[in-house]
Amino acid sequence: MQSAMFSLEGRTALVTGASSGIGRVLALGLAGAGARIVALARRADRLADLVAEITAQGGSAIAAQADVTDPDSIERALDAAEAAFGTVDVVISNAGVTDARNFLKIDAAARDAVMDTNFRGVWNVGQAAARRMVAAKRPGSIINVASVLGLAVQPGLASYCASKGAVIQLTRSMAIDLMQHGIRVNALAPGWFKTELNDAFFESPAGLERIARMPARRLGTLDELVGPVILLASDAGSFMNGSVVVVDGALDALLA
**Best CA proximity match to 128, nearest among 75, 80, 179, 171:** 75
Separation CA 87–CA 84 (nearest Å):
9
Which one is catalytic: 63, 67, 142, 160?
Answer: 160
**Best CA proximity match to 185, nearest among 198, 174, 169:** 174
Active site residue 160: yes
Number of CB atoms found within 10 A of residue 108's CB: 7
SS3 46: helix
Q: Please, is 193 exposed, middle or buried when counting C-beta atoms within 10 Å of its C-beta (0-12, 13-18, 19+)? A: buried
> Is 18 in contact with 3 (CB distance < 8 Å)?
no
> Is 34 in contact with 10 (CB distance < 8 Å)?
yes
Separation CA 104–CA 120 (nearest Å):
23
Q: Which helix (H) or strand (E) holds 42?
A: none
> Is 105 in contact with 154 (CB distance < 8 Å)?
no
One DSSP character per residue, 217-244 reads SSPBPGGGGHHHHHHHHSGGGTT--S-E
**Best CA proximity match to 74, nearest among 36, 130, 128:** 128
How far is the CA of 67 from the CAs of 74, 130, 218, in angstroms? 7, 18, 32
Which residues have a catalytic role annotated? Answer: 160
